[in-house]
Chains A and B, each alone.
Chain A
Amino acid sequence: MRLKEEDLFELEAEALIKEIKAQYGYDFSGYARASVYRRIKRFLGQKHLNSMGELRQFLFTDSFFFENFLQEITVNVTEMFRDPTFYLSLRENVLPILSTYPFIKIWDAGCSTGEELFSLAILLEEEGLLDRTKIYATDINQKVLRQAKEGIFSASNMAAYTSAYYAAGGKRDFSEYYTSNYGNVKFNSALVRQVVFYPHNLATDTSFNEFHLIVCRNVLIYFNRELQERVFRLFDESLVSLGYLALGKKETLAMSGISGDYNFVDKNNRLYRKTS
């Protein structure tokens, strides 16, 4: 009996994905299904909606509601200095090489609410590179981009972020970077003085510049193989020769068509360098 329910849900979810593409232009057809279905069910629960029909009605009559939905369907859970050894490796293995360029361009793809972006900016600041770097911070979702620009995070995470910062080789007193206020902290906006924010959809948009480093962590796990391949090609086109690519700890180039042109800089942290 329950199996039928699940089949019905899938049919409705697939129809919804098609309608969203037609009406709003966001294409989720290349997203891994288990997670998308789970996110939709979770959203139904949060909004106390009883059926997919109800969800449809709200989504297509209220664009604000849709923006909210978009933020929930695309996972926006992130943290500062996640996997500190990755940032340490970036600091020790990549930034010294990037410092030999007169001007550095970095793409933070899928920057979400900005925790990763501020972590990168702090790293660059401490290595004396921020002023000759331009970071392009992109996300599919405009709402999270606005949040990223603000740099306001919950104070409840600061203990964890502080220890991650030091584990990542942090050189200063971490509290120099932010001010606390009413349960939140606001990071110094000078950290994003070299950042350009804009919406970019990895599923449908094209290459827009050339970069020395592309950071895209824990985004590709949500895509199916075909979409992953599209994104790898996009990154390959967008990297200068000898450029660096940083993926999430459980993401790999191994199955992709471009893997032959990349070597590991740090295998454990999935940090790659283009060989030509």
Chain B
Amino acid sequence: MEDVSKLIVIGGSWGGIQAALSVLQPLPANYSIPIVLVLHRLRNQEGGLQELFERKLNLKALEIEEKEKPEPGHVYLAPANYHVLLEKDHTFSLDDSELENYSRPSIDVTFTSAADVFGENTVGILLSGASRDGSSGLKYIFEKQGLVIAQDPAEAEVATMPLAAINSIPGCSIMNVAQIQSFLLSLHEH
């Protein structure tokens, strides 16, 4: 058995940084499930994001390095200009292949890869965004019996991304930030 059995993957685009910060803010430093965060950002834009998350959260924020293994108590940020994949041994791989949905990192790529490795133990959360990226990856997680959540479009800064997911996944849970917070806290194992 591997040391970590669950993985939370979160995607966001326009309005996603703020939403992700809010969602993760109440989680304790020893939160039991590793979190991978894929946010669209400007190409070739350097750093800044990791420092912001590190400052605002109890969790430790790291930019993903290839061949690292996700650990509890951490939020892992997809680096600018690379797709993030997961290997069977739970380590990260980076990939600089074609853009997907005009994006690199692409949320679909990471969601799909996470579901291939973690199956029903994958939790996928899609936040605010003006892109169509993420919905087919979230659907794939759902098909692998993972848990899927879209941010309530009424509350999201830009509703396009969560709406695309809700429309294509009949079983998708719809939650606002406060509900996602409590849901994540309920997954925490002391």
Contact = CB atoms under 8 A, between A and B. Distances in A.
Answer whether A and B are interacting partners.
yes
Interface of A: 2-3, 6, 32-35, 37-39, 75, 77, 83-84, 218, 221-222, 225, 248-252, 255
26 contacts: A3-B119, A6-B116, A32-B66, A32-B85, A33-B87, A34-B85, A34-B93, A34-B95, A34-B116, A34-B117, A35-B85, A38-B113, A39-B97, A75-B96, A77-B98, A84-B44, A218-B96, A221-B66, A221-B93, A221-B96, A222-B95, A225-B67, A249-B81, A250-B65, A250-B79, A250-B82
Contacts of B97: 35, 39, 75, 77
B180 interface: no
B88 interface: yes
B113 A32 contact: no
Interface in B86-116: 86-88, 93-98, 109, 113, 116
Given A75-B96, A77-B98, A34 B87 contact: yes
A108 B187 CA distance: 48
Nearest to A78: B96
Given A33-B88, A34-B93, A222-B95, A2 B143 contact: yes
A1 to B, nearest CB: 9
A3 B119 CA distance: 7
Q: B-side binding surface: helix, strand, loop or mixed?
A: loop
Interface of B: 44, 65-67, 79, 81-82, 85-88, 93-98, 109, 113, 116-117, 119, 143-144
Contacts of A250: 65-66, 79, 82, 94
A84 B45 CA distance: 11
B85 A221 contact: no
Contacts of B86: 34
Nearest to A34: B85
A225 B68 CA distance: 11
A35 B65 contact: no
A35 B95 contact: yes
Contacts of A38: 85, 95, 109, 113
Contact of A221 (B94, B143, B144): B94
Nearest to B95: A35
A6 B118 CA distance: 12
